[in-house]
Structure 1
């Protein structure tokens, strides 16, 4: 039995708050799922969540906009490189036209036999919309943004990781997590993430030995981690013990993220993975279930700092 079922979310460090919010909600047609702040450290930085209206785990993209504190990273090898979301077969043309018309340069290409639209987040992080015939999730329609169910994003397709050493990541992904290797070509490696719902999601490993090392810290312009869904705490703890027992000891203790519980592990290829499961109540723990993502919320442990943090956040119109 696999202890993973698909992705839980993907997390990026971006630049400006407004451009980030507009990109995901207005350009890509995702919904605001949660608006809170960075739980680690002391900097007042937003933590923004986007996805399907109901906040389904397999659809969530989260961001830390770092423009105000002025912390910027370097994209490179041994780091997650590309955010990939699934779209219906045949929807590429719609997205190429829409993105270009909205001032986001986009073009159609193919990798590992899958047609995809390539473009960039305003901060420069590569994004792709991938046609996935194996994905049976309902597309995220957003009529207010001109996106119908015929073309809407279905959720996370996966992440592409740039590495200097293919072998180390091959071992980690197949033995530690574990995933199934489904492609090994001159383009790199592809691993299928186990799922319970037929929504085939993947990890792509791109061999780029001549690309300089990328940033691992929380820093604008880089992908921070790829989060896999363990479904519950028992699976999370069992998988954590399995990974640590193999000798991958760069793995964190469980962290309380309010809406889910997390453990983080640094892969030998550099990319950071998270093992996550949604707690009872999920996004509705501090907002009405039918109005998630509409207000700025803080965890209880920040109650004494809320006014200070609000004053330090970058201004934005949501």
Structure 2
């Protein structure tokens, strides 16, 4: 039995909360799945979740909007570089036109044999919409935003990671996680993420020995982590033990994220990976099914800090 079953979510540190919400819900047509706050540290920061209407695993993009003067990340090497989402075959032209019409510069390119539309989040993080015919997931429809089934984003395709040492990253992804190496070319390396439904999801590794080291702190303009779905706690703990037993000891204990449980491991290529599984209640733990993502909610352990956190959060209407 595979200990990884597709992606769970991808997480970024962005900039303004309202521009982040508008980008994902209005431009890309994703749905608000959860509005809460960063569970770590003491600084009030939103944690926003976007994806399919029901918040299905492998569709979730999450962000920490972090508009703080002088606190901004540096994009570089030894760091996750791009967020990739799958779109139906033939939908690239629609998205190129739509994004440019919204004032977001977008262009079509091909890499590793896949056609894709490349553009950037307002905070600068590169995004790619990749045409994928190996994807049985239903497209995310948002009629109010003019996005129908023939063009809607299907969910996570994967992410690219920039590294200086391709060999060390190759060993980590194939031995520690483990993923399946599909390609090793002048463009870089491609690894398939196991998925029992046969959905094509990948990690692409690009060699970059020229850029400066990217930052790993929680600061705007950078990708924070890539979360793989272990399905349940048993698989998570087995995979954690396997990774630590190989000597990758930069791995966390399990953390309670209210809707899922997580362990984090820093790869030798710099990218932070998460091992995650959704708890039985999932997103409906504090909002009714069908009504998720519509209110600002706090975990039980922040009950005595709600007023303080609300007062410190950036103003946003989320409309």
1:88-237 matches, within 5 Å, as 88-237=88-237
Do the aligned partners of residues 70 and 310 (structure 1) sit closer, same or farther apart at CA in structure 2, a change above 3 Å counting?
Answer: farther
CA deviations over 1:176-221 (Å, ceiling 9, x no partner): 0001100000010000000011111000000001111000111110
Unaligned runs of 5+ in 2: none
Does residue 1:4 correspond to 2:34, yes or no?
no
What TM-score, normalized by structure 1, do the two folds share?
0.99
CA deviations over 1:27-53 (Å, ceiling 9, x no partner): 000000000000000000000000000
Q: Paired residues, what number?
A: 318
CA RMSD of aligned residues (A): 0.6
Quick one: distance in 2 between partners of 1:3 and 1:300? 30
CA deviations over 1:213-262 (Å, ceiling 9, x no partner): 00011111000000000000000000000000000000000000000000
Aligned partner of residue 103 in structure 1, secondary structure? coil
Unaligned runs of 5+ in 1: none
What TM-score, normalized by structure 2, do the two folds share?
0.99
Shift of 1:69: 6.0
Aligned to 2:285: 285
Quick one: distance in 2 between partners of 1:311 and 1:70? 21
Shift of 1:71: 2.1
Quick one: distance in 1 between partners of 2:69 and 2:29? 28
Aligned to 1:263: 263
Shift of 1:68: 3.6
Aligned partner of residue 252 in structure 2, secondary structure? coil
Does residue 1:36 correspond to 2:36, yes or no?
yes
Quick one: distance in 2 between partners of 1:166 and 1:172? 10
